[in-house]
Each structure stands twice: as structure tokens, then as C-alpha cells.
């Protein structure tokens, strides 16, 4: 568990490179915000979470498998991650932030990633 990174993951770095290449600027890991969003666009009050499919139980093939050992612990751990994400999104929206999410599986192809980030890019640029 100690080797599992929470910041600067490969999917996060792919997203950051793409957005920076498009000229968008952001803050990293908003420490004062619920859930510490991966990217914070303060001027437009928008945040982006880059979720790992396994850890946040995405419905894709990467998020569905369950570990074969200690299954009850891992099932509860993953369910609590999903519930925490829901609470954090609600708290951010209540505070006036626009919340965007991208999943690890969407970062595997540059075209797919650009399409998934389209609404965020339009929102930040159109402000």
C-alpha cells in the first residue's frame, strides 16, 4: 500500500500535459477544498478529479475486478472511496464549484482523453 501514489500518477500526468499544452493553467491538489481535487481552476471555480478505475469502482473492465484475498476489507475500502467521492462532490457543488471527473481508462488514448475533457476545456476557456 505504501507504494500506491495519490498524487502525480500516470493518468494525472497525462491529463496535466494535455491541458497545459492547450494553454490552460491550474493549481495542483487543492488542499483547502473537499477531496483535494487534482486540478483546480480557481478563476472559473472549476475542479477536476482524475480517478483510478480500480480504487473508485468505475464500471469499466479495470474497475470491476475484486482482489482474491481479504475480499471483505477491499470491498468496504472501495465502497467507502465511492461514498467519500460523492460527499466531496456535493460539498464542492454546495460551495459553488463546478466539478469535473475523468477516469483512468479514459487517459489511455489521447483522442478519448481530449473528448472526455472537452466540457472542462470549453467551460474554462469560455469563462
pLDDT digits (tens, 9 = 90+) for 47-76: 999 999 999 999 999 998 989 999 999 999
Q: Domains (ranges, CATH) in the chain?
A: 10-126 (3.40.960.10)
pLDDT digits (tens, 9 = 90+) for 72-127: 999 999 999 999 999 999 999 999 999 999 999 999 999 999 999 999 999 999 87
List Cβ<8 Å contacts ≥24 apart for 32-38.
33/92, 33/95, 33/97, 34/87, 34/88, 34/91, 34/92, 34/95, 35/84, 35/85, 35/88, 35/89, 35/91, 35/92, 37/92, 37/99, 38/7, 38/12
- Residue 8: the pLDDT is 85
Would the pLDDT of 1 be above 70? no
Amino acid at each position: 500500500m505504501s507504494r500506491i501514489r495519490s498524487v502525480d500518477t500516470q493518468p494525472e500526468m497525462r491529463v496535466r500535459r494535455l491541458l497545459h499544452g492547450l494553454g490552460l493553467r491550474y493549481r495542483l491538489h487543492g488542499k483547502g477544498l473537499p477531496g483535494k481535487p487534482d486540478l483546480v481552476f480557481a478563476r472559473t471555480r472549476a475542479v477536476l478529479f482524475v480517478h483510478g478505475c480500480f480504487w473508485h469502482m468505475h464500471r469499466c473492465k479495470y474497475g470491476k475486478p475484486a482482489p482474491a484475498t481479504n475480499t471483505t476489507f477491499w470491498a468496504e475500502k472501495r465502497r467507502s472511496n465511492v461514498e467519500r467521492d460523492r460527499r466531496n462532490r456535493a460539498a464542492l457543488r454546495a460551495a459553488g464549484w463546478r466539478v469535473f471527473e475523468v477516469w483512468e481508462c479514459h487517459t489511455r488514448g489521447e483522442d478519448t482523453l481530449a473528448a472526455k475533457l472537452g466540457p472542462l476545456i470549453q467551460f474554462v476557456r469560455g469563462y
